[in-house]
Structure 1
Amino acid sequence: MELRHLRYFVAVAETLHFSRAAQKLNIGQPPLSMQIRALEDELGVPLFERSHRRVFLTSAGRAFLVRARQILADAEAARQEVQQIAGLDAGELRIAFTTSAPMTNLMKRVLTGYRQRYPRVTLTLSESPSERQRDALTERTLDIGLVRQAEDAPPIAGLSFETLIDEALVVVLHQGHALSRRTSVSMADLAHEAFIMHPHDVGTAIDGTIRRMCERAGFTPRVVQEARESTTIVALAASGLGVAILPAAVRCIQIEGACFMDLSEPDAHTPLLLAKRRDDTSPLVQAFVTICREVAGRLHETPPPAA
């Protein structure tokens, strides 16, 4: 039994509604239901009576709710105490991220979780290309980087990189484009298309990945327009100016005329990594790394939405 199981149980017990509890916890309803079932199996008693319309606490569930709330309260008190001892109740954490990272569920949940656990820590956030983040970490003007990096990128002395999520790459094009009627497209299908990409001086790893994918498909991308922001690139592609390839997180950008297509290539993905200095022993940094791993682990457990 873990504390998260108790948090899940209390959320359902207080709302008596699995969907609302899942929304409150910021997780999917199916994994929440599975965790509650697992908790009941471990305890050997049902905690809830379920019907098509209502959820009720059993007598065992009502008794367990009292205990669960007390355990969570004690755990919170212990957490606050050790934070004060370890220096986690104040300070500043400097975090940079790539342009598409804030669109991911991972970053949103990590920042929310960190602020909830360490409300007195100041988070100084900045958007920066991956290459500049690596330089800033080396120069010690940055504590944490959320970067994109090619799988064959050479190691950088003094820095460590940890993959948090591996995102699919998607094609962005105008909804009236002939390819938009397909279920997916291949790189070969894009050989004669005009491309919209980031400028070379931005230092994004994704563009290098895209160019290598084009080369393997037998062509060099014909770039007709460059833009620094992912939102701008999506808007230009939606206008019919050309096609773009971006991380799947950009699907959340609601722009009229934009169509997002899956790529059929098995290597059409881009990892989002956590970068930091190897010798950084700051408790603020270590706490951020821990939360990143927790959130990434939950995202890996959550099944993808039904098509």
Structure 2
Amino acid sequence: MELRHLRYFVVVAEELHFGRAALRLGISQPPLSQQIQALETELDVQLLDRSSRKVALTPAGVTFLAEARQTLAQADRSVTMARRAAAGTIGVLRVGFTPSVPFMELFPRVMRGYRHAFPGVEIRLLEMITRQQIDAMTENRLDVGFIRAPLPPIPSDVATLPVLTDRLVLLAHKDHRLAALPAIPVAELKGEPMIMMDREAGTGLYGHVHGLCAAHGFGPTVAQEVRGAWTPIGLVAAGLGVSILYSSLVARLGIADVVQRPIDAPAADGQILFAHRMAMGPQAQEFTALVRDAVR
């Protein structure tokens, strides 16, 4: 049984006249009659009563008409949904991000823009460190992601795009000696009790700060390791040490008694990148286009 047979039958049932039905369908009457007869033969059921001058539906025909309409409606819906999926207007988009990325202005702006343009797409947000995101893209468990340098080896099936330079800044209590400096030379950090983000927090800060200090011949004096992005700020306000965070984490903060100072070193610049699988579906393609437009 073909969908066209159902369409033919529905039109005949609506017109109850083979001539008018044939005219609506744009075919001649004899082939239409043959198709309806073939349908009845296939079903082994009489759908139309042709015994009088007017065509009428049999009880079986009435039931079949309702089912045929539902089948055709579902078929039409399936076609529409397939076309929308191919156009990227429905479906699922899996977006990864490192823990600090939602604080940067670009991330919520792109997410709002995509949600507005493609409300039918389900967005699945997955918080992962950079290495986990790259692995997930390679294994087709993630479509796109926002990651931080330093990067692990990037496989050939994943592409990256720099989107933001995120500078390290020192947080210190307003009465701390370093608060008087407009910028902080790295050497001034030697011996200072520091409140550090834990390596497992996934922000990239741990490796960045340790590498920066090592390049100047010393290791950071760690007073406390924490995971939450807000925790270092509160501990600095309490006078328990200084902390180094990315500027995107503290750009909108106005914490009483805490001052921010840039770290005076080229290596203090961190980088946030956008990554995507090379083999992208339409949803990821549209999202990637939004990101590219946002960073131009």
Match of 2:101 in 1: 101
Q: Which amino acid in 1 is paired with 2:201?
A: V
Work out whether 1:118 is the aligned partner of 2:118.
yes
Moved more, 284-293 or 128-137: 128-137
Residue by residue over 1:111-132, the C-alpha shift from the partner in whole angstroms, topping out at 9 and shown as x without a partner, is 1111121111111223332232
Residue by residue over 1:91-110, the C-alpha shift from the partner in whole angstroms, topping out at 9 and shown as x without a partner, is 11111212221111111211
CA distance, structure 1, for counterparts of residue 241 and residue 159 of structure 2: 37
Match of 1:260 in 2: 260
Match of 1:196 in 2: 195
Structure 1 residues 1-307: aligned runs within 5 Å: 84=84, 86-150=86-150, 153-249=152-248, 250-278=250-278, 280-297=279-296
Q: Which amino acid in 2 is paired with 1:287?
A: E
> Residues 142 and 120 from structure 1, CA distance in 2 versus in 1: closer, same or farther, beyond 3 angstroms?
same
> Residues 156 and 149 from structure 1, CA distance in 2 versus in 1: closer, same or farther, beyond 3 angstroms?
farther
Provide TM-score, normalisation by structure 2: 0.66
Contact 1:168 1:268 (8 Å CA) reproduced: yes
CA distance, structure 2, for counterparts of residue 103 and residue 203 of structure 1: 14
CA distance, structure 2, for counterparts of residue 255 and residue 128 of structure 1: 28
CA distance, structure 1, for counterparts of residue 193 and residue 91 of structure 2: 48
User: Which 5+ residue runs of structure 2 have no aligned equivalent?
Assistant: 1-82
Residue by residue over 1:57-94, the C-alpha shift from the partner in whole angstroms, topping out at 9 and shown as x without a partner, is xxxxxxxxxxxxxxxxxxxxxxxxxx947432211111
CA distance, structure 1, for counterparts of residue 208 and residue 229 of structure 2: 16
Moved over 6 A (4+): none
Contact 2:198 2:227 (8 Å CA) reproduced: yes
- SS for the counterpart of 1:180 is helix
Q: Which amino acid in 1 is paired with 2:208?
A: T
Percent of aligned positions with the same letter in both sequences?
Answer: 32
Q: Which amino acid in 2 is paired with 1:136?
A: A
CA distance, structure 2, for counterparts of residue 156 and residue 240 of structure 1: 44
CA distance, structure 2, for counterparts of residue 159 and residue 205 of structure 1: 20
Count of aligned residue pairs for this structure pair:
213
Moved more, 179-188 or 129-138: 129-138
CA distance, structure 1, for counterparts of residue 183 and residue 218 of structure 2: 19
CA distance, structure 2, for counterparts of residue 296 and residue 273 of structure 1: 11
> Residues 156 and 235 from structure 1, CA distance in 2 versus in 1: closer, same or farther, beyond 3 angstroms?
farther
CA distance, structure 1, for counterparts of residue 108 and residue 93 of structure 2: 16
Match of 1:11 in 2: none
Q: Which amino acid in 1 is paired with 2:155?
A: I
Q: Which amino acid in 2 is paired with 1:229?
A: G
User: Which 5+ residue runs of structure 1 have no aligned equivalent?
Assistant: 1-82, 298-307
Contact 2:143 2:280 (8 Å CA) reproduced: no
CA distance, structure 1, for counterparts of residue 144 and residue 221 of structure 2: 35
CA distance, structure 2, for counterparts of residue 217 and residue 114 of structure 1: 43
Contact 1:166 1:269 (8 Å CA) reproduced: yes
Q: CA deviation at 1:200?
A: 2.6
Q: CA deviation at 1:253?
A: 2.8
CA distance, structure 1, for counterparts of residue 234 and residue 132 of structure 2: 25
> Residues 191 and 159 from structure 1, CA distance in 2 versus in 1: closer, same or farther, beyond 3 angstroms?
same
- SS for the counterpart of 1:113 is helix
Contact 2:96 2:125 (8 Å CA) reproduced: yes
Q: CA deviation at 1:246?
A: 1.6
Contact 2:114 2:290 (8 Å CA) reproduced: yes
CA distance, structure 2, for counterparts of residue 121 and residue 252 of structure 1: 30
